[in-house]
């Protein structure tokens, strides 16, 4: 940081920035590479040869990657990608402006093996899940209209097939099975921020007689609901509201 501050001060006070850099005495560890950097800077100032400028910068910087970065190969790929992106801009100024205003969130890296035993999510249809097994399984929308589907209750054979599908889904779990039943559904086609909703009944394939075999959990939990600040009571004239809707 101190060397960088000295360089900036030298460039600011010198009559010519390139001459100021050439006359500045770098630290011993940078002495061998300093003339090449000064030459690169002088060449970039003398004439704008965009986007060839990026290639010159990359060629100068590449030999230093092994010393600066542990993942030098990945960083080299980043430079090549940056060079390719820069070629799509009309000028150096435009490229630097866009890069400053919208910098990348992170640099690239090579994909590693997935942590299957830690955080790993697989989305699957019930049909394609046949023959598969997972430690934890979540079966979504276990309500009538989804399981069984609206179009799958025409005949007794259709209902039996829907029941078999739920059986397939439930038996994919090795350790933990979660049947998810939404508390409410919001119909399509309503206005923005619309709150029209409807309730759905639990799938007929999980009758009340076997609910004791399940641990029932709701969200938000009763404890969380009790911890909320109580809303002030507001009296609502339902009749007046209904009449207002038909004016």
Let me know if residue 235 belongs to a domain: no
Same domain, 160 and 200: yes
| Residue 39 DSSP one-character state | H
Same domain, 90 and 137: no
Question: Which residue carries 């990945």 as its tokens?
Answer: 74
Which phi and psi angles does 146 have, rounded to 5°?
-115, -50
Check whether the bond before 220 is cis (ω within 30° of 0). Answer: yes
| 164-to-105, 155, 172 alpha-carbon distances in Å | 47, 14, 13
3-state helix, strand, coil in the chain (%, to 5): 45, 10, 45
Q: What per-residue confidence (pLDDT) applies to 162?
A: 92
The CATH number assigned to the domain holding 138 equals: 3.40.50.300
pLDDT, greater one: 17 or 112: 17
Let me know if residue 206 belongs to a domain: yes
* Inter-residue contact 134 to 173 (CB < 8 Å): yes
Let me know if residue 239 belongs to a domain: no
Same domain, 206 and 151: yes
Same domain, 93 and 130: no
- Strand-pairing partners, residue 136, are 176
| Cα 183–Cα 139–Cα 143 angle in degrees, nearest 5 | 40
Let me know if residue 231 belongs to a domain: no
Let me know if residue 106 belongs to a domain: no
Question: Which residue carries 């350790």 as its tokens?
Answer: 175
Instruction: Answer whether 0.85 is exceeded by the pTM.
Output: no
Domain stops at, among 101, 126, 144: 101
Percent of the chain having pLDDT more than 90?
23
Domain stops at, among 101, 133, 158: 101
Give the residue from 177, 180, 168, 184 showing the smallest Cα distance to 142.
180
Same domain, 174 and 95: no
Domain stops at, among 48, 74, 101: 101
77-81, 94-98, 101-105, 161-165 — which is least confidently predicted? Answer: 101-105
Same domain, 97 and 122: no
Give the residue from 92, 18, 101 showing the smallest Cα distance to 52.
92
Same domain, 205 and 133: yes
Q: What per-residue confidence (pLDDT) applies to 139?
A: 96
Determine how many CB atoms are found less than 10 A away from the CB of residue 14: 15
Q: What per-residue confidence (pLDDT) applies to 229?
A: 56
Same domain, 9 and 88: yes
Let me know if residue 70 belongs to a domain: yes
Q: What per-residue confidence (pLDDT) applies to 186?
A: 80
Same domain, 210 and 130: yes
Let me know if residue 24 belongs to a domain: yes
* Inter-residue contact 202 to 144 (CB < 8 Å): yes
Same domain, 97 and 129: no
Split into its structural domains, the chain has a count of: 2
Determine how many CB atoms are found less than 10 A away from the CB of residue 147: 24
Same domain, 132 and 167: yes
Same domain, 90 and 123: no
Instruction: Indicate the average pLDDT of the chain.
Output: 83
| Cα 64–Cα 67–Cα 70 angle in degrees, nearest 5 | 115
Q: In whole angstroms, what is the distance from residue 179 CA to residue 138 CA? A: 6
Q: Domain range holding 208? A: 118-186+196-216
With cut-offs at 50, 70 and 90, classify the pLDDT of residue 163. Answer: very high
């Amino acid at each position: 940081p101190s060397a960088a501050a000295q360089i900036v001060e030298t460039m600011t006070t010198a009559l010519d920035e390139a001459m100021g850099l050439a006359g500045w005495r770098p630290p011993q560890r940078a002495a061998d590479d300093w003339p090449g950097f000064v030459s690169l800077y002088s060449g970039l100032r003398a004439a704008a040869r965009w986007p060839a400028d990026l290639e010159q910068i990359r060629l100068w910087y590449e030999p230093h990657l092994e010393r600066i970065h542990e993942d030098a190969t990945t960083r080299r790929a980043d430079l090549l990608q940056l060079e390719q992106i820069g070629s799509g801009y009309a000028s150096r100024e435009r490229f630097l402006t866009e890069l400053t205003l919208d910098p990348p969130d992170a640099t690239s890296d090579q994909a590693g093996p997935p942590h299957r035993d830690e955080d790993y999510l697989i989305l699957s249809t019930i049909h394609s899940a046949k023959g598969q097994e997972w430690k934890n399984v979540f079966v979504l929308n276990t309500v009538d209209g989804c399981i069984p589907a609206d179009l799958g209750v025409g005949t007794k054979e259709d209902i039996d097939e829907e029941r078999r599908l739920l059986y397939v889904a439930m038996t994919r779990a090795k350790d933990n099975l979660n049947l998810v039943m939404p508390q409410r559904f919001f119909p399509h086609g309503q206005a923005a921020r619309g709150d029209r909703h409807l309730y759905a009944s639990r799938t007929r394939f999980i009758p009340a007689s076997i609910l004791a075999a399940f641990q029932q959990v709701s969200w938000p939990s009763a404890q969380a609901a009790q911890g909320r600040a109580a809303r002030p009571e507001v009296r609502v004239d339902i009749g007046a509201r209904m009449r207002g809707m038909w004016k």
